[in-house]
Amino acid sequence: AAGVIQSPRHLIKEKRETATLKCYPIPRHDTVYWYQQGPGQDPQFLISFYEKMQSDKGSIPDRFSAQQFSDYHSELNMSSLELGDSALYFCASSSQISSYEQYFGPGTRLTVT
């Protein structure tokens, strides 16, 4: 079965640079969630989208923005990167029918140097 796809899988950036992470949900899933998992920490919810509209917002810094496109893929844009942004960024998707079950992608490991 198709899973959530994230790209790139690994990304190395320098401080103050920008990064764009992409997420392709499972086909026919209309909701996308972004989570950040720091080293040795639990995943923290950042933001979610339903039908291309932001549906909820968590602890996402103002330097970050995200959107969901007409094909339901989502992009997380991160600017003025800081060392503390180094983390694993997970995307998850769900469908409205089973909206409480989220399927996670493999994550993008961002390293800021």
Partner 1 sequence: AQSVSQHNHHVILSEAASLELGCNYSYGGTVNLFWYVQYPGQHLQLLLKYFSGDPLVKGIKGFEAEFIKSKFSFNLRKPSVQWSDTAEYFCAVNAFGNEKLTFGTGTRLTIIP
Handedness of CA 103, 54, 13, 83 (dihedral sign): negative
94 binding partner 1? (CB under 8 A) = yes
What is the rounded CA–CA span in Å between residue 15 and residue 22?
20
Q: Which stretch binds partner 1 (CB under 8 A): 11-19, 60-68, 71-79, 102-110?
A: 102-110
Residue 35 token pair: 């989570």
Find the binding residues for partner 1 in span 26-45 (CB under 8 A).
Answer: 31, 33, 35, 41-45
Only segment of 10-18, 51-59, 67-75, 77-85 that touches partner 1 (CB under 8 A): 51-59
Q: At residue 83, what is the residue type?
A: L
Q: Which of 7, 6, 43, 44 is nearest to 26 (CA)?
A: 6
Interface with partner 1 (CB under 8 A): 31, 33, 35, 41-45, 48, 55-56, 58, 90, 92, 94, 99-107
